[in-house]
């Protein structure tokens, strides 16, 4: 079955360390997205990519970085510059057009202490 | 820029009762509207979407939503709620000029179902 795989489900890191969250899709979608979810805040867009080797900052990109070397993969790195990295991170993909719904992975819960 | 408001943070409904979750959007042109549902610790699942045409759209799990342009609303409804409907519900608006877009989400409404 086609879908989006995020790994790991839970991730623990010490403050000051960079950490990379994995996102892979086999839906043949052009566009991929990273959202951050905090209680009571809804989903906030971190980065998105409409095509391989190209990506744009979302609303809260500071302290994060991404790459899109392959159509199927869109890893997110949470750097030590992110002031409050503990959150639930959701990866999504879509066909990319304005009326395309997003398909979501099951998320990665990152805890930084 | 577009925005979405979900006025209710929590709603409690008795099992078997009807449900309406409110969503108001702000966007200058015709919006593309979506409702998603999220179970705890999971990703979001698409319930339904509105692009154009009939303003009453049907979705999965017995949900429907009605687009009202005059009220800038896209409320989600279900005639009879089941305990398994307890989850968080997100309204989202998509917009873009170049053919591509991103979705803007509301902050969500948590649905609690009482026996």
pLDDT tens readout for residues B18-68:
999 999 998 877 788 999 999 988 999 999 999 888 899 999 999 999 999
B7/B81 Cα distance (integer angstroms): 20
Across chain A, mean pLDDT equals 93
Write the pLDDT tens digit of every residue in B64-110. Answer: 999 999 999 999 999 999 999 999 999 998 866 544 567 889 999 99
**CB-CB under 8 Å, A96 with B100:** yes
Residues of A with Cβ-Cβ distance to B51 under 8 angstroms: 99
Band of the pLDDT at B2, cuts 50, 70, 90? confident
The DSSP-derived string for B28-56 is: SS--EEEEEEE-TTS-EEEEEEE-SS-SE
Q: Among A24, A3, A22, A2, which Cα is nearest to A11's? A: A22
How many residues appear in chain A?
Answer: 113
Which chain B residues contact residue A101 at CB under 8 A? 34, 46, 49
**Cβ-based contacts of B42 with chain A (< 8 Å):** 106-107
């Amino acid at each position: 079955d086609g879908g989006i795989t995020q790994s790991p489900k839970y991730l623990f890191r010490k403050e000051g360390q960079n950490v990379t969250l994995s996102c892979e899709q086999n839906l043949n979608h052009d566009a991929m997205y990273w959202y951050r979810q905090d209680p009571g805040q809804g989903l906030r867009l971190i980065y998105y990519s409409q095509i391989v080797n190209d990506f744009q900052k979302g609303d809260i990109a500071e302290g994060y970085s991404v790459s899109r070397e392959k159509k199927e993969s869109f890893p997110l790195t949470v750097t030590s510059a992110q002031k409050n990295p503990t959150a639930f991170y959701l990866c999504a993909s879509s066909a990319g057009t304005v009326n395309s719904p997003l398909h979501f992975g099951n998320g990665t819960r990152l805890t930084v202490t | 820029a577009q925005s979405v408001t979900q006025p209710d943070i929590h709603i409690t409904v008795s099992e078997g009762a009807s449900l309406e979750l409110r969503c108001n959007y702000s966007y200058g042109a015709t919006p593309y509207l979506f409702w998603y549902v999220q179970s705890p610790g999971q990703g979001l699942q698409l319930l339904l979407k509105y692009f154009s045409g009939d303003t009453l759209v049907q979705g999965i799990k017995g949900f429907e939503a009605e687009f009202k342009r005059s009220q800038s609303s896209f409320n989600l409804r279900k005639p009879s709620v089941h305990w398994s409907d307890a989850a968080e519900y997100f309204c989202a608006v998509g917009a873009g000029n170049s053919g591509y877009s991103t979705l803007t989400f509301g902050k969500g409404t948590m649905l609690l179902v009482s026996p």
